[in-house]
Structure 1
Amino acid sequence: MPKQGATALVVPLPEADPLLAAVADRFPDAVRPLPAHLTLLYPFLPAGALDEQVFAALDEVFADQPPLRVEFAECRRASGFAALLPDPADGLSALVGELRRRWPDLLPYDGRFGAEVDLHVTVALNTAEATADAVTREIIPEFTPIRAHLREARLIAFHGQWQLRRRFEFTA
């Protein structure tokens, strides 16, 4: 569970919500209670540190971002974890690179998985190997490939539940 006041920059992926719902129907503990999304940077700055200067910097980062068309077909598996990777990932990787340049001390997932983490949509997390394997073999193939048109990033903050703080439309 995230800390109170934690924030994240995410890209919503409603096209993957049916996949997450199917996983949750069969394995409720495998899916987090969040809509499908790609995480650009988590944790971001603490909610108390968000001010107009930070919002202006984020506006700059996202100002020239065009909408992106991506597909999710490749599955990545690790211990108790299953995720889908975006293709192409370069536009999203460029966004992450710019965020990391502006806030170099912020490591994805506090550095638990290294300084660089592949962009992904989490499908199952912290679950038994048999569950992650079943998700990968039996459920994901029914829903992939997922084609998506990414149109915005969101800054969300955790206060007992995740709450929207700000939207950044991809309009360039």
Structure 2
Amino acid sequence: MNQLSPPSSASLGVPAHFTVLYPFLSLEQINASVLATLTALFQGVEAFPVELSETAWFGIEVLWLAPVDPEPIRTLTALVHEAFPDFPPFEGKFADTIPHLTIANGHDRARMTAAEQAVERHLPINAQAEKVTLMAQAEHAGKWTTKAHFHLCRTP
């Protein structure tokens, strides 16, 4: 992976992640009411396992990791969109959202293919989704800021 510079999103302060809902409110629009709504929403969601077992591509521009079970992430998207209906996922551009973790975007194809081969040697990757992080960008763009963490409930 060190053969590629970080994706442009990494240089803007965005760590590796699954997008729950984008676009969303700007940094200036997030207030106590929004945070309370999201807190209540995520309190009832159980933490869940995530297994990344294969790479995939959006065209030839975006290399990503696919979760074996995308449904828990889709459920999070549906819950947040239901609470904030003015913000359809990806502005409604796609009939279905595909939960994914971006590895590389817009780099030279040979370098991205090398990155794919390097990542595949480490698959599967297993993790536990235990929180949702709200990140926001100022209306004038720039770096993303972590606004809040919402812990998912844990089963005993």
Report TM bin, short chain.
Answer: 0.7 to 0.9
Gaps of 5+ in 1: 1-22
Q: Tell me what 1:46 maps to.
A: 26
Higher helix share: 1
Which residue in the other structure is 2:4 paired with? 27
Asked if the contact 1:74–1:85 (Cα under 8 Å) also holds between the matched residues in 2, the reply is yes
* Post-superposition offset of 1:30: 4.6
Give CA-to-partner distance per residue, 1:128-159, whole Å, 9 cap, x none: 222222222x2121121100011100111225
C-alpha deviation, 1:115, in angstroms:
4.4
Pick from 143, 148, 151 the counterpart of residue 161 of structure 1.
143
How many residues were matched structurally? 147
- Pairwise CA distance, 1:31: 6.1
The counterpart of 1:37, out of the listed 9, 13, 17, is 17
Structure 2: where are the runs of 5+ without partners?
none
Provide TM-score, normalisation by structure 1: 0.76
Q: Do the aligned partners of 2:137 and 2:145 also contact (CA within 8 Å) in 1?
A: yes
Displacement after TM superposition at 1:100 (Å): 1.6
Partner of 2:83: 102
In the other structure, the counterpart of 1:15 is none
**Residue identity matched to 2:151:** E
- Residues 61 and 95, structure 1, Cα contact 8 Å, conserved in 2: no
Please give the alpha-carbon distance, in whole angstroms, between the structure 2 residues aligned to 1:104 and 1:116. 16
What residue in structure 1 maps to residue 152 of structure 2?
170
Supply the distance in 2 between the matched residues of 1:155 and 1:60 (Cα, whole angstroms). Answer: 14
8 Å CA contact 2:77, 2:89 repeated in 1: no
- Between 1:162-171 and 1:31-40, the stretch displaced more is 31-40
Amino acid aligned to 2:35: F
Distance 1:66-1:116 versus aligned 2 partners, 3 A rule: same
Shift of 1:29: 5.4
Q: Secondary structure at the match of 2:96?
A: coil
CA distance in structure 2 between the aligned counterparts of 1:121 and 1:90, rounded to whole angstroms: 14
Q: What is the correspondence of 1:112-131 to structure 2 with a 5 Å cutoff?
A: 112=93, 114-131=94-111
2:61 aligned with 1:80: yes
2:86 aligned partner, one-letter code = D
Does residue 144 in structure 1 map to residue 123 in structure 2?
A: yes
C-alpha contact (below 8 Å) 1:29/1:127 kept by paired residues: no
Q: How far apart, CA to CA, are the structure 2 residues paired with 1:168 and 1:64? A: 11
